[in-house]
Structure formats: structure tokens, C-alpha cells
Amino acid sequence: MKNSECYDVTIIGGGSAGLFAAYYAGMRSMKTKIIEYLTDLGGTVSVFYPDKYIYDIGGIPKISGRDLINQIKDQAFRFDPALVLGQAVEGLEKSEDGIFKLTGSNGEIHYSKTVIIAAGPGLFKIRRPQLKNIEYYEDRCVHYEPKDLTVFAGKRMAIFGDANSAFEPAIRLSKTARHVYLICNRNSYKGFEKEMKQLQQSNVEVKLSCTVTALNGDSRHLSGVSVKNIDNGKMENLSVDELIVSQGYHFDLDPVKNWGFKLEGRRIPVNENMETALEGVYAAGDIAGYPKKWRLIASAFNEAITAVNSAKARIDPSAPTQVYSSILMEK
């Protein structure tokens, strides 16, 4: 499928920086599109910090990651940017007339006068355990970082992965599940005192220095998992209905490299205008690299503003170089 419509700016990434860039581009009356690899917006904050408090936003003493993203979404869509979800940008080319051609992972073509890369630390790829036939159970009874744990009420549950990241879901599940196993390949675990006490008082059965070696079932429904003790080699079969894998993510920057950028410390070098080595392409947020960078959300907002103003100046040199007031008339 091809889309011949050309946008003033296309933003790659729908996290904090990308959403704020979309909002500010709307303020600059730019025709804007957001392309996000995940099936929802929010990026790093939504994936890793939805329930954590953020303290570095001016005028907001503290706000949860989830509430922050919800507010930035409302802000970004005030100007109705086009949105593409669940699509990675695999190709980025500049034509002779200066228009950029972006090729999506499904073959869709996007055209844009300028591009802002707000891809955070890269594409989030879940670390999948190397287990035979796991693909048959995924999305049925093998789950990765599920957000809604209420669906597991009354079930026999196992959580496999890093104990620290699995603390909270294990404790929450213990209140509604029939039984909960926490399987960790470490020989010890640490956490906040409150969490440790809650874990000890719960019905969670902790299996330290263990790894899951096999899924047992009929390829549609689990009956259990096989677990091996790393220290002594002892095998054990645990009866479970559902398995949650919590091994974290790795970040894939190969697409960015394929676009022709030379990374420095997993970042795209930019100048004071947030412009990359490819004229007309800008970066903001975690992916942007420059001397004395501060890795704060507040900094990402400022980078997004600079990138948008630079993009606006490129496509319309007669426009004001900056917008000095964010006071807008209500629609």
C-alpha cells in the first residue's frame, strides 16, 4: 500500500519526545504524522515506568508515568496529527527534490518534507526464552509483561525472569491467583523492605537459581513447566495454567544504522539545531546525542521544540524562527 500524501514533518517514535514534538509542530501549523513501532503510544515511560513517579517536569511536583503520557497524548492530538501504530520504519531515503521517503515494515510508503527521529533507546524487543514450541503458547497461556493481571484470578501461575522486576506482579497475583511460583535464575533477590515483607507473607513460592527448560501441555493449554536448578541440576515439574515471562527487553538500533547514521554511544549526533548529519532530519529525546546532554524528560521536551523550529525554518524560511508564546485560543 502506498500513501502519496506528503507531510511537513514525520515523527518516528510516539514516546514523550515524539508526542511533544507533534504538539509543538501543530502549534507551528505543520502538517504532522507520527509513526510508532509499538501498538500504543508512550514509549519508554509507558513500558517501563507507568506506575513510577516523575519529578523533573516544571510546574508538576510529581506525576505518574501513566498520567504524564495520557496528558501528553491529549496535548499532542489537539492538532490532529496523522497516526500510524504497529509499524517500524525500515527505510529512510532522501530524493533529489529533497522529499523524504519512509518505508514501513508492512511496505507502506510515507512522504515528508522533514523528519524528526524520536525513537528513544531503539525498538523494544522482548527477551523471549528459547523454549521448544513456545510460539504455540504465546498469547494463549504464555504472556510477556501483561498489564491486566485480573484475568489470572483463580489460576496456577508461574513468573519466570528477573526477581526484582517480577516482585510487584507476583505480589499482586498472590491476592487472586490459586498459587504463584516465582522462578529466578539468580541465587538471591533484593527489593524494597516493604516488597520483601509482602512477598514473604504471601503464598508466592520462590524458586531461586532455577530456569525453565520446557513447557508441558498440548500446544494450546499449559499443564505445567519443567524447571532445572542451575546449582545442582535437579529437575522439577511445576503444575501451572499460565506462565508470565519477565526477562526484560533489548533495544534494537539496527534500523537507525540502516538509515545511514553513524551512532556515538547508541545516539545519533546532532548539532545545536537538533539536526543530524542528514540535512532535513532531526532527532530529539534519548536517541539524540550532543555534548553535556541531560537524560531528563524535561530536556527531551526542549529538544523537541528545537527540532520542530528547525524543521519549520527549513520548509518555510519566511516563518518566524520561534514561537515565543504558547498561549492559544481555544478551539
Say how far residue 208 (Cα) sits from the centre of its chain.
29
Grid cell at residue 72: 501528553
Grid cell at residue 116: 524528526
Is 49 within any annotated ligand binding site?
yes
Phi, psi of 11 (to 5 degrees): -105, 120
Is 189 within any annotated ligand binding site?
no
How far are the Cα atoms of 187, 194, 249, 265 from residue 190, in angstroms, in the given order?
11, 11, 20, 30
Q: Are 11 and 33 in contact (CB under 8 A)?
A: yes
Is 279 within any annotated ligand binding site?
no
Residue among 79, 77, 61 nearest 69 (CA): 77
Is 303 within any annotated ligand binding site?
no
How far are the Cα atoms of 65, 67, 143, 166, 312 from residue 282, in angstroms, in the given order?
25, 27, 36, 37, 11
Residue among 37, 30, 35 nearest 7 (CA): 30
Is 55 within any annotated ligand binding site?
no
Are β-strands 53-54 and 63-64 bridged in parallel, bridged antiparallel, or unpaired? antiparallel
Q: Are 117 and 283 in contact (CB under 8 A)?
A: yes
Spatial distance between the Cα atoms of 271 and 287, rounded to a whole number of angstroms:
13
Say how far residue 288 (Cα) sits from the centre of its chain.
16
Amino acid at 202: S
* Binding-site residue ranges for FAD: 36, 49, 89, 124, 286
- Specify binding-site residues: 36, 49, 89, 124, 286
